[in-house]
Amino acid sequence: MSYPISGKNYDKAVEDLKECFGREKMLIKVYVRDLLKLVIENAKDTSKVSFVDLVTSLTSQIRNLAELGVTSDKCAQI
């Protein structure tokens, strides 16, 4: 959707963007899937990631989940 540039349209534009891109349940599934994939892939002998890259990737995924309100106690179900 397109809105003319003005302060009064800001809230409408933000709401539309949240509807389009802010599907939290889907984002949580994607981040958890990517996190598990990273751990599983690194457990294989054939595709080792450097420690620095692994920590960076894990930190990024965990930070993304935390931003969506997912904490370690909520992940116990996984």
- Segments making up each domain of the chain, as ranges: 23-77
Which two structure tokens, joined as six digits, stand for 72?
């370690």
pTM: 0.62
Q: Which residues contact 41 (CB under 8 A, 6 or more apart)?
A: 47, 49
**What is the rounded end-to-end Cα distance, in angstroms, of the chain?**
37
**Residue 72: what pLDDT?**
77
**Residue 76: what pLDDT?**
59
**Residue 77: what pLDDT?**
53
**Residue 63: what pLDDT?**
92
**Residue 56: what pLDDT?**
93
